Amino acid sequence: MKSKLAVAWILAALALSACAERRQVPVASNGDDDDAICRANNVVVGSSAYIACRKDRDAARSNAEARADRRQRNLGEDMLNHPYQP
């Protein structure tokens, strides 16, 4: 009976976590915010400093997305591996 209850809780938690909205910083899909930030540093579009700025912003965004995905995956694995802990 306890195992059925635990399985039900796990399935409910997974269903709710799948529906939960992940908190993400809104980013323009075309990179306008990156352009504005890099131009704010008084660099010319197309210069090596501008290109480095855009590359750094892209790398930072990719790293943030990877960290968020990793946290979500770790939470799911932890919930599956420790179903009886509150």
CB-count burial class (<10 Å; 0-12, 13-18, 19+) for 40: exposed
pLDDT score at 76: 92
Q: What is the DSSP string of 24-55?
A: -----TT-HHHHHHHHHTT--TTSHHHHHHHH
Q: Within a domain: residue 60?
A: yes
- Average pLDDT of every residue of the chain: 81
Count of structural domains within the chain: 1
Distance between CA atoms of residues 75 and 70, nearest Å? 9
Please state the pTM of the whole predicted model. 0.53
The predicted-structure confidence for 23-43, as pLDDT tens digits, reads as follows 544 455 555 788 899 999 888
Q: Within a domain: residue 86?
A: no
Q: In the block, which residue shows the tokens 């660099």? A: 43
Q: Within a domain: residue 27?
A: yes
Q: Within a domain: residue 24?
A: yes
Q: Which domain holds residue 68?
A: 2-81
User: Which percentage of the chain shows pLDDT scores above 90?
Assistant: 38
